[in-house]
Amino acid sequence: MIQAIPLRHRRLLGSAGLYVAVAAYVVFALFPIFWTFKISVTPTALLYTQGATLWPGRTTVQNYVAVLLTTDFPRFFLNSVLVSGATALVVTVLASAAGYALSRFRFRGKQAVAFLLLLTQTFPLVMVIPPIYRIMGSLHLTNSLSGLVIIYVAFNIPFATFLMQTFCDGVPRDLEDAVLIDGGTRLQALTRVILPLTLPGMMATIGFVFTAAWSELLFALMLIDDPSRMTFAVGLLSFIGKFDVDWGQMMAASMLGLVPACLFFLLLQRYLVEGLSAGAVKG
Amino acid sequence: MRPAFARNPLGSGFAARSLRRTAEPWLYLSPALVILVLVLFVPLVIGISYSFRRFTAFRSSYVGLGQYRTMLHDPALGQALINTVWWTAGSLAFQFLLGLGLALVLNRRFAGRSVVQAIVFLPWAVPSFLAGLTWAWLFNPVIGPIPHWLYAVGLQSQPRNILANPHLAMWGPIIANIWFGVPFFTITLLAALKSIPADLYEAAALDGATVWQRFMRLTVPFLAPTIAITVMLRTIWIATFADLIFVMTGGGPAGSTNTVATYIYVSAFRAMDKGYAAAVAVLLLFLLVAYALVLIGMRRRLLPQ
Amino acid sequence: MKNKPGCRLKGLLKTATAAMVLGVLSRPVWADTTLKVVEVIPSPARTALLQQEFASFEKSHPGIKVQLTSLPWAEAFEKFLNMVQAGDTPDIVEMPDRWLGLYANNDELLDLTADFKRTSSLANLSDRALQFGSAVRGKLYEIPYGFYVRGLFWNKKLFAQAGLSAPPATLADFVSDAKKISAMPGKYGYCMRGGPGGFSGITMFMNTMDGQPGYFHSDGTSTLSDPGAIQGLQLLATMYKDGSAPPDSVNWGFNEIVAGFDSGTCAMLDQDPDALIGIAGKMNADDFAVAPIPVGPGGHAYPTLGYGGWSIFANSSHKDAAWQLLSFMVSPDNNLAWSKVVGTLPIYKDAEQNAHFQSDKFKGWFTELNDGSKYVLVTPPTYLEGFGDLYDNISIKTFQQVLLGQRTAKDVADQWASYLTDQLKAYKAHQSAN
């Protein structure tokens, strides 16, 4: 049946279908975020009476003003940027090395290591809070951003390592053998040849780790008491009072919170779009 | 040029080379492993040890396998396990398929691709409890649009909150989870797709392979390792993920959205028996490890390296 | 000895020294003390008020610094428990009534009875305040800062539309009024709270229908399995089935019932004065008022009474300074300001003479407080260690099962009753062991 339609029209249908599918997904992905934005510009008095409409009768920027000028949000923001950035950096270095090791070497204990990485993901974090709190306490790292970074690094290492291993696996061995034969060290092979070829994967990993650290709530809440060290997610939680949730401000803060993740990702996009540059493979 | 090994301070003897060869992978692994063991593994072991004790808020006593015995007779746990299977399978299937489809689409050039790519990432950047709150709002007929749309389209006889219906409630968090998780698959699979050399496709096309054949014989094998690892990880994460459900339904109504993860949270912080929560967590751990082993076994058999 | 100038000087010196010594003894010198205070139900207005109070306290007590930590309420219980379990305890903590049983029974809190007795500024504290602060073992583990009394919020507009001019006076009126309002399309009579936090409201209806206040008979068995109480639970379930409450309300928590009331979806809401803060911002003041809880067949109603307060941790290393601060925070003037901001009813006798509390919004609550013949206020048994699990966990799921028709009201009421009876037995056993 399809064969009966001329190729040109088939292609057109195909692309039309493509665009429809993409548009449908974009609407799905954006709608809750649009809703968040809508609530952030709705005046409190209209919040519930006009709750279900697609756009409020009156809009206001009061929530954004309040969040930026009267709350500690700029501080929380900064803390989150520091923590997430540090986490992403450290994890990338550690996981690239570890992923490379798992990819390239055969050694006793390799299965055990992989199993260990997996095992740490299966235990709900809620259960490890008390022991971690005690360990961090003994190291005097509670209530500190560096303590939080260490914890986030640990959380993200398994996932990042597995990803980096998979991407390293995709790079043919002859490339680094070439470097070694030429007299380079393995480390040079890793940094100069392998990692650049795993760039899309590495960028995806960095993006994920940054975002994971940015939105993490539980540990940031449990570990940090000092308001000057609180992160963005904990700050959001503080809008939820017992008797009054300040939805407008909370959603305004959430919209602002999307900005760093977006920016970060826009920066990384370039590397995701570039595939293997021609010529490197057969080099 | 002098060979690399001759420059090594450990010397150039056979024993030294052997040592270096066995030590080398560990050198690359150790920083990651040290942090992991200290911060996650040790607390995990301690957490497991809780399951042999019975806790009240400030005291605990050793009870051996007592908590596990209680678990065997707990009907709420049985319901939670069933719910967990629904929750995990439902969330995973849709977000994986949608993510894969989207990755394939984004791998092709089209107008506005970079914009779409940036938008795709957004849901993952939203903190999970906030996503839960927003979706709960969307599903609430008093203040949200979805029930009214469902009613307008004829799917509901009156605008009602599916979160309040014990038969449908699980779908609320599942939909929110799909929304949340598609970016994960899209981006990892897209990154993997990017590393497939383009000339392979050209060669196959020249050979007369159809789109479907190219997909099955080229794309899938190349993607297989990435698919395996992302599916495995994401399943484990979903199974241990309580935030979304807790925020949207609290495990209700009448326990219909109570999964093992939310049950653990409730046991630890409402009933305050960390011991029982730990025992349930150990059960979950075994189930997830078994699942992972099965997946790895399957992968080995289906795609011999 | 003759009256030489030297003698007079010596006398003066002696007196001056004596005065100085007395002065030093009566006003302790605080050498760089930092008091840690934790609040668990923060809001911007309230935190600002606390900071103000602390600033003036620090001025009048040089050497003492006050450090305030505000925990977001959404996770406050878990976070605070975590802190205490790890040994990170404050000097003063805000103690919601439902936490008191947990911390007091585990000897984490300081008995303030002696301190209270010797502090004259708190002399006018109402008997209720003392009674509730001493809920656990009769020792004053907490000084309440205010009361939350359940009242019936009602939507004047919706009532008028249904042809009703006044709020329901009896439970029978309550049910029929709700039915009339629900007859209007898209409207419902009662904003039922089937989700978290509903338990005290449910037991209130059960008590009122039963004609007996409180959770226990004098013999230690729970009142919740009385036939009258079961009828009360059934009353709610029937209302839900008949459509007098929105079908989604099976899962409604605090935010949802307030949203339902504010948006004019449901016309009646039983809540405490602090809900006013959230509602007043989103609803027209002329559209609603607060009435006393409708009375039951016996002519009585048993509104629930809750409270929050401040406690001092037993392991505090600055007990005296902490008491100074605490008594300052609950002193009459500060407490009045506090009540206005936080939305509680003040803890002192004759509180309602103040103009703020005389609007028709507060009339309902003060009627309940003052008319002891019709209204007996009930506090939940927060001294029972396991009460939190019942309130926050068990009761929610089981109440939803009743609403959905999965279990009978009698079945669930019996389950609650036996749980409470067992808890009380354990509590008494623990008490006699001490």
Per-residue pLDDT of chain A (283 residues; tens, 9 = 90+): 556 667 777 677 677 888 888 899 999 999 999 999 999 999 988 888 777 888 988 899 999 999 999 888 999 999 999 999 999 999 999 999 999 999 888 888 888 999 999 999 998 888 888 889 888 888 888 889 999 999 999 999 999 999 899 888 888 888 888 888 888 788 877 788 888 888 888 888 888 899 999 999 989 998 888 888 999 999 998 888 777 788 899 999 999 999 888 887 777 777 766 543 332 333 2
- Tens-digit pLDDT string for chain B (305 aa): 445 444 556 556 777 777 777 788 888 899 999 999 999 999 999 999 999 999 887 888 999 899 999 999 999 999 999 999 999 999 999 999 999 999 988 888 777 787 888 888 889 989 999 999 999 999 998 888 999 999 999 888 888 899 999 999 999 999 999 999 999 999 889 888 887 777 888 888 888 778 788 788 888 888 888 898 899 999 999 999 998 999 999 888 988 999 999 999 988 887 888 899 999 999 999 999 999 999 888 877 776 54
* Cβ B53 vs Cβ B61: under 8 Å: yes
For residue B27, the distance in angstroms to the closest alpha carbon of chain A comes to 9
Measure the CA–CA gap between C155 and C263, rounded to whole angstroms: 10
Kindly state the helix (H) or strand (E) to which residue C49 belongs, with its residue range. helix C44-60
The answer to whether A201 contacts B191, with C-beta atoms less than 8 Å apart, is yes
Q: Closest residue of B to A112, CA-based?
A: B33
Question: What's residue C214's pLDDT?
Answer: 92
Distances in Å between the alpha carbon of C292 and those of A26, C267, C307?
A: 51, 15, 18
pLDDT tens by residue, C217-269: 999 999 999 999 999 999 999 999 999 999 999 999 888 898 899 889 999 99
pLDDT tens by residue, C181-198: 999 998 999 999 999 989
Residue of A225, A244, A250 to mutate for C, most C C-beta atoms under 10 A = A244
**Nearest Cα to B142, choosing from C189, C248, A239?**
C248
Measure the CA–CA gap between C160 and C170, rounded to whole angstroms: 18
* Phi-psi map region of B53: left, alpha, beta (phi>0 left; psi -120 to 50 alpha): beta
In this structure, which amino acid lies at residue A183? G
What percent of chain C is modeled with pLDDT above 90?
58
The answer to whether C42 contacts A238, with C-beta atoms less than 8 Å apart, is yes
Q: Closest residue of A to B305, CA-based?
A: A169
Nearest CB to A244: which of C70, C86, C277?
A: C277
DSSP letter assigned to residue A246: -
Q: Which two tokens stand for residue A107?
A: 């050694």
Measure the CA–CA gap between C144 and C129, rounded to whole angstroms: 6
Mapped onto helix, strand or coil, the DSSP state of residue B167 is: coil
Question: What's residue A279's pLDDT?
Answer: 29
Query: C-alpha dihedral over C237, C243, C244, C247, to 10 degrees?
Result: 80
Residue of B263, B269, B274 to mutate for C, most C C-beta atoms under 10 A = B269
Question: What's residue C297's pLDDT?
Answer: 93
Angle between helices C319-329 and C332-342 in degrees, nearest 10 = 60
The answer to whether C41 contacts A137, with C-beta atoms less than 8 Å apart, is no
**Nearest Cα to B259, choosing from B279, B232, B281?**
B281
Measure the CA–CA gap between C14 and C24, rounded to whole angstroms: 15
ipTM: 0.87
Measure the CA–CA gap between C400 and B164, rounded to whole angstroms: 10
Strands C92-96 and C305-312: antiparallel
**Nearest Cα to C370, choosing from C128, C123, C168?**
C128
| Number of Cβ atoms within 10 Å of the Cβ of C113 | 14
Question: What's residue C1's pLDDT?
Answer: 43
Domains (range + CATH), chain B: 4-50 (no CATH), 73-302 (1.10.3720.10)
Q: Closest residue of A to B6, CA-based?
A: A183
Distances in Å between the alpha carbon of C11 and those of C18, C24, C25, C373?
A: 10, 20, 21, 65
List for chain B the helix, strand, coil content (%; round to 5): 75, 0, 25
**Nearest Cα to B180, choosing from B127, B246, B233, B252?**
B127
Residue C26 has pLDDT above 80, yes or no: no
Distances in Å between the alpha carbon of C185 and those of B271, C180, C182, C244, C246?
A: 42, 11, 7, 12, 12
The answer to whether C81 contacts B57, with C-beta atoms less than 8 Å apart, is yes
Q: Kindly list the partner chains of chain B, i.e. chains with 3 or more CB atom pairs below 8 Å.
A: A, C
In which band, very low, low, confident or very high, does the pLDDT at C108 lie, cut at 50, 70 and 90? very high
Strands C188-190 and C92-96: unpaired
What's the count of helices (H) and strands (E) in chain B, helices before strands? 14, 2
List chain B residues with CB under 8 Å of C400.
Answer: 252-254
pLDDT tens by residue, C294-306: 999 989 999 998 8
List chain C residues with CB under 8 Å of B43.
Answer: none
Measure the CA–CA gap between C119 and C136, rounded to whole angstroms: 22
* Cβ B88 vs Cβ B234: under 8 Å: no
Kindly state the helix (H) or strand (E) to which residue B291 belongs, with its residue range. helix B274-302
* Cβ A224 vs Cβ A72: under 8 Å: no
Strand runs labelled E in C58-150: 64-70, 92-96, 143-149
Strand runs labelled E in chain B: 53-55, 60-62
Residue C379 makes CB contacts below 8 A (sequence gap 6+) with C97, C132, C135, C304, C305, C306, C307
Cβ–Cβ contact C253 with B under 8 A: yes
> Which is higher by pLDDT, C16 or C99?
C99
The answer to whether A221 contacts C79, with C-beta atoms less than 8 Å apart, is yes
Q: What is the mean pLDDT of residues C359-364?
A: 77
At B60, give phi and psi (nearest 5°): -150, 155
Nearest CB to B255: which of C253, C260, C397?
A: C397
Give the fold, CATH level 3, of A72-273.
MetI-like fold (1.10.3720)
Domains (range + CATH), chain C: 31-148+306-358 (3.40.190.10), 151-302+371-433 (3.40.190.10)
Measure the CA–CA gap between A82 and C18, rounded to whole angstroms: 59
Q: What is the pTM of this model?
A: 0.87
Parts of chain A belonging to CATH 1.10.3720.10: 72-273
Question: What's residue A273's pLDDT?
Answer: 60
Residue C210 makes CB contacts below 8 A (sequence gap 6+) with C223, C226, C227, C228, C229, C231, C232, C296
Measure the CA–CA gap between B12 and B20, rounded to whole angstroms: 10
In which band, very low, low, confident or very high, does the pLDDT at C175 lie, cut at 50, 70 and 90? very high
Specify the residue for token string 């109402």.
C126
Question: What's residue C267's pLDDT?
Answer: 95
For residue A157, the distance in angstroms to the closest alpha carbon of chain C comes to 26
Question: What's residue B146's pLDDT?
Answer: 92
Measure the CA–CA gap between B271 and B265, rounded to whole angstroms: 9
Measure the CA–CA gap between B158 and C200, rounded to whole angstroms: 31
The answer to whether C251 contacts B269, with C-beta atoms less than 8 Å apart, is no
The C-alpha R_g of chain A, in whole angstroms, comes to: 24
* Cβ C139 vs Cβ C109: under 8 Å: no
The answer to whether C72 contacts A238, with C-beta atoms less than 8 Å apart, is yes
Q: Closest residue of A to B273, CA-based?
A: A127
For residue C223, the distance in angstroms to the closest alpha carbon of chain A comes to 29
Cβ–Cβ contact A141 with C under 8 A: no
**Nearest Cα to B277, choosing from B63, B67, B62?**
B67
Measure the CA–CA gap between B51 and B74, rounded to whole angstroms: 16
Mapped onto helix, strand or coil, the DSSP state of residue C99 is: helix
DSSP letter assigned to residue B165: -
Sign of CA dihedral C96, C100, C102, C106: positive
Question: What's residue C182's pLDDT?
Answer: 95
Question: What's residue C171's pLDDT?
Answer: 95
Measure the CA–CA gap between A235 and B148, rounded to whole angstroms: 33
Q: Which two tokens stand for residue C208?
A: 């009122």
Rounded to the nearest 5 degrees, what angle is found at the Cα of A223, between the Cα atoms of A218 and A227?
100
**Nearest Cα to A80, choosing from A274, A257, A266?**
A257
Measure the CA–CA gap between B272 and C73, rounded to whole angstroms: 18
Q: Which two tokens stand for residue A60?
A: 């206001």
Cβ–Cβ contact C390 with B under 8 A: no
Strands C266-271 and C151-155: antiparallel
Nearest CB to A44: which of C88, C263, C281?
A: C281
Measure the CA–CA gap between A240 and C434, rounded to whole angstroms: 40
